[in-house]
Structure 1
Amino acid sequence: MSAGPLDGVRVVELGGIGPAPFACMMLADLGADVIRIDRPGAELHPVMHRNRRSIALDLKSPEGRAIAMRLVATSDVAIEGFRPGVAERLGLGPDDVSREAPHVVYGRMTGWGQDGPWAQLPGHDINYIALTGALHAIGPADGDPVVPLNLIGDFGGGGMLLAYGVLAAVVSARTTGRGQVVDAAMIDGSAALMAMLHGYLAEGRWVDERGVNHLDGGAPYYRTYACSDGRHVAVGCIEPQFYASLLEGLDLGDDPDFAAQDDRSRWPSMVHRLQAIFGSRPRDEWAEVFATSSACVTPVLSIGEAPLHPHHVERQTYTSLGEGHMARPVPRFAGTPAAEPRLAPVVGSDGLALLGELGLEAAEVRSHLEAGVVVLPPSATDEGGPR
C-alpha cells in the first residue's frame, strides 16, 4: 500500500456516496489501508474512491455480513454513510461492531445527525447549509442566495469533519484500547464553519444580511469583477497596505473616492468605479498587471485552467487524470510523504486477496463465489481466477 503518515492504519468503508467516501479518500491519500465493501455492480468515482481496495459482498446474506464483520474486526476504523438505522438492520451497526471488536472506531456520516426530529429525513448539501445560515449569507444583496457547489455541507462540513473526528478517536483508542462512535453530521460541520461569522455578529461587526459585509461581496475590496472578455478577477485586499497596492496598480492612489477604505456609505460608488475599470481590459491583462503585486488580485480560473497555472505547476498541486487532472493528496508531510494517488479500483477486484488475508480456505472461497456472497469482476475469472 502507499506510504504516508497513516501507514499501518486500516479502515473498512461500508459503501456509500458523497462525504463518507471523501473522508476515506483523505485517509487513504495519507497512507491508510482503506478497504471498501461494495455492492456488486456498484460504480466508483475515479477520484473520490482512489487509493482503495475493493471487495464486492452481498450484505443481505448472513455469509456476506460475516465476512464484512471479519474485515472490520481486523481494522482500526469502520466508516458508514447510511441513514440512521440502516447499518443496525444489516447487523453492522456500532453495537454489533463493539461486541466483536471493541477496539474499532466507528465513524458515522449523516446529514442531520443520528438524532433530532429531522434525523430520518432526506437532504442534501443545500439543505444543511440552508439551516445553518451559511446559504443565506452567500450571494448579492439584491439577489437570491448563491449555491456554493456542494463544498460546505458535503465536503468541508461533512467529509473533512468525519476524517478529523475519526483520527481523534484513533488516537484515543490507541491510548485506552477502546474505540468509540464518531457522529459526524453535515449540519453540525456546516454550523462549525460559521464560527467566525457568529463571533462577528455577536460583536456587531457583521450585518445579518447578504452582500453588505466585508467578506460577502459587499466591500469593493473583497469581491469579483467582470473583465472585458467576460472573465473575472478576484480582489481580496482587506489589509490597508494591500488596499493601497490595489489603488496604486489602478492609478487611484490620490482619488478621494477611495481614500476611506471602510466608509460603507461610499462602497456602492467605489464598486461602480471598479466595475468600469476592470471591465475595460481582458482578465489576463489584469492578471499580468498584478502578477507581482501585493494587491491580492488574481484571475478567476476555470476548473480546466487551474491546473495549468504556473504556481500549481511548480508546486505539483495536480496530477493527471486521463485527459484531465486531479489534486494530489494534502496536506503535505516532510517526513512521510504520500505516494502518487491511484485511481479507484474495479469493484470487487481485491476480493480474493482480502479473503486470503482473512485465512479462508479455497473450498470456502469457492462456495462463497458460487453462492454470489462474494462477486468478482469479469476480469478476475477471464484471467484464470476462480470459476
Structure 2
Amino acid sequence: MQEQKTNGPLKGLKIVEMAGIGPAPFCGMLLADLGAEVTVVERPAALRSLNTGDALNRGKRSICLDLKTELGMRAVTALINQADALIEGYRPGVMERLGLGPAVFEASNPKLVYGRVTGWGQNGPLAHAAGHDINYVALTGALSVASRAGQAPSLPATLLGDMAGGALFLALGLLSALLESQRSGRGQIIDAAMVDGVGCMSALIHSLRGTGMWPDAPQHNFFLHSSPFYDSFECADGRYVTLGAIEPQFYAELLQRLDLQDVDPQAQFDTRQWPALRARVAARIKAKPQSQWQTLLEGTDVCFAPVLSLEEAASHPHNLARGNFSRIDGKLQPSAAPRFSRSQLRPAQAGTKPGADTEAILRELGLAS
C-alpha cells in the first residue's frame, strides 16, 4: 500500500490489530485516521470469516500470518512487543489459547495497552455466549426506547452496539490507558463490552427518568413517537422528513411555518392534545413532497432535516461543504472525524488488501526468508 503521510495527533503511536469484524477494525480505522500506525494481523484466506472492506482498512498496513507456524508466532510476537497497544475482538480466552494473551507480554512489553472488545465483556454469565449488536442493545434496556406503540423495537444496524458502545469506548479506553502509561510506565487491559458502553450511553435517559422527566408511557413522552413536534413524518411522495422542535421558541416557529396559528404554543406539553394535533401536522406534511419541505423548512429554527438515503446524504450541500464523504474507486466512504485546528487527519483512501504488506513487515522484523 502507498503510505499517506500524516501529522495527525496520534502520529508515532504503534497499534497491532488482530483482524476481525465490527468494532475492532472500526476502532483501528479511527486510530489510523488520527495518525497512528496500525498494522492488521490477518489470517490466511481460507481462515477468514469476512473481509471488513476498503473503508475500515484505510490507513493501515496488513500482514498475513499463519499463527499455527513458528514463523507466524515469531512475527506476531515481535510486532506486539514493538507496539504501544493491541486491539482484539475475539471471544474471551481465544487470544490465550493462541499463546498471545496479555500475560505473555508483561515482561517483554510492560507498557503494552491490551484492548479487548466483546459484546458481553470478559466475564459474567453471558461472557462466552454468541451475540450481535441487537442483542447487546436489548440487554441494556436501550432497545426498549426505540419503539412505536404496537410495533416491535428497531434500531439502525451496527451503529449503537458495535460502533458506539464497542469501538468508541474501546478507543476511549485505549487512549486513556496510553496517557496513564506515560506516567506509570505500565500498561493494562481494557475490557470494552458493548453492553457496558451502550448502558453508559443511556445515562441521560436514566437521569431524566430519575427526575420524572422521562415517562415510560409513550403517550406522554415526546421522544417515543407520540408528539406532533418530534418524529418522522411522511410526505406526499412517500419520502420522510424529521421534526425536532422541542424548545418553545422552535415549536412556535414550527406552528407558524405549518400555518397552524390557531394552536396555542403554550400548550405544547399538554399530552391530551397531542393525538389530534399530531394528525393535523401529519396531514400538513403529507400535502407536499419532501423537496418542497426542504425548501420551506431547511435551515430554519424548526429543527428540520429530510430522511436521506446513504447515497443522497453524500450529496447534501451541508455534507459537501464539510467534506463529510469521499468517493474512492467509485465507492463512498465517510471522512475522518473529529476535526483539529492544527493536526491533519488522513484523507479517505482505498484500504490495504489483506496481507499486502507481509513481505515488507517481515523484512522490518528481520524475519524475511
> Per the shorter chain, which TM-score range?
over 0.9
Give the conservation status (yes or no) of the 8 Å contact 1:13–1:24: yes
Residue type of the alignment partner of 1:276: A
Matches within 5 A, 1:10-25: 10-25=14-29
Instruction: Tell me the residue number matched to 2:36.
Output: 32
Give deviations 1:316-375, integer Å, cap 9, x for gaps.
Answer: 111113334211100011111202122221111111211122133xxxx22xxxxxxxxx
Displacement of 1:271:
1.1
CA distance in 2 between counterparts of 1:11 and 1:309 reads: 35
Q: Which residue in 2 is equivalent to 1:262?
A: 269
Aligned counterpart in structure 2 of residue 156 of structure 1, from 143, 158, 164: 164
- Inter-partner Cα distance in structure 2 for 1:26 and 1:144: 33
Q: Work out which of the residue numbers 122, 127, 130 in structure 2 matches 1:122.
A: 130
Which of 103, 108, 118 is matched with 1:110 structurally? Answer: 118
**Is the contact made by 1:140 and 1:211 (CA closer than 8 Å) also made in structure 2?**
no
SS across alignment from 1:78: strand
3-state DSSP of counterpart to 1:305 = helix
Correspondent of 1:252 among 253, 256, 260: 260
Structure 2 residue runs of 5 or longer lacking an equivalent are: none
**Whole-Å separation in 2 of the counterparts to 1:213 and 1:325:** 37
TM-score (structure 1 length as normaliser): 0.90
Deviation at 1:62, TM superposition (A): 3.2
| Pick aligned residue for 1:138 from 146, 151, 155 | 146
Aligned residues: 361
Q: Is the 8 A contact 1:54 1:346 kept in 2?
A: yes
Query: 2-side partners of 1:216 and 1:161: how far apart?
Result: 26
Instruction: Find the aligned partners of 2:130 and 2:107 in 1 and give their Cα distance.
Output: 30
Per the TM alignment, residue 259 of structure 1 is displaced from its structure 2 partner at its CA by 4.5
Cα distance change of structure 1 residues 95 and 349 upon mapping to structure 2, 3 Å threshold: same
- Work out the CA distance in 1 between the residues paired with 2:330 and 2:66: 35
1:332 is matched with: 339
Residue identity over aligned pairs, in percent, reads: 43
Aligned counterpart for 2:247 among listed residues 239, 243, 247: 239
Q: Quick check: 1:44–1:344 contact (8 Å CA) kept in 2?
A: no
Which secondary structure does the structure 1 equivalent of 2:301 belong to?
Answer: coil
User: Is the CA contact 1:235–1:297 (under 8 Å) kept in the aligned structure 2?
Assistant: yes
What is the TM-score when the length of structure 2 is the normalising length?
0.95
Aligned mates of 2:18, 2:346 — CA distance in 1? 24
Task: Please tell me whether the aligned partners of residues 139 and 210 of structure 1 are also in contact (alpha carbons under 8 angstroms).
Answer: no
Q: Is the contact made by 1:139 and 1:211 (CA closer than 8 Å) also made in structure 2?
A: no
Paired position in structure 1 for 2:282: 275
| Contact 1:227–1:278 (Cα < 8 Å) also in 2 | yes
Displacement of 1:148 = 2.6
What does residue 11 of structure 2 align with?
7
Supply the distance in 2 between the matched residues of 1:120 and 1:58 (Cα, whole angstroms): 25
State how 1:157-236 maps to structure 2 within 5 Å: 157-210=165-218, 212-236=220-244
Q: Which amino acid aligns with 2:87?
A: I
Distance in 2, Cα, partners of 1:337 & 1:217: 41
Aligned-partner Cα distance in 2 for 1:208–1:66: 56
Q: CA RMSD in A?
A: 1.4
Identify if the C-alpha distance between structure 1 residues 7 and 213 changes in structure 2 by more than 3 Å, giving closer, same or farther.
Answer: same
Gaps of at least 5 residues in structure 1 are 367-387
Contact 2:40 2:60 in 1 (8 A): yes
Report the residue type matching 1:70 in the other structure: A
8 Å contact 2:258–2:281 — kept in the other structure? no
> Which residue, 61, 65, 87 being the options, matches 2:69?
61
Q: CA deviation at 1:231?
A: 0.2
CA contact (8 A) 1:76 1:103 kept: yes
Cα 1:226–1:112 shift into 2, 3 Å: same
Letter in 2 for 1:282: P
Is the contact between residue 15 and residue 36 of structure 2 (CA under 8 Å) also seen in structure 1? yes
In the alignment, the residues of structure 2 paired with residue 344 and residue 325 of structure 1 have an alpha-carbon distance, to the nearest angstrom, of 12
Deviates more, 1:38-47 or 1:84-93: 38-47
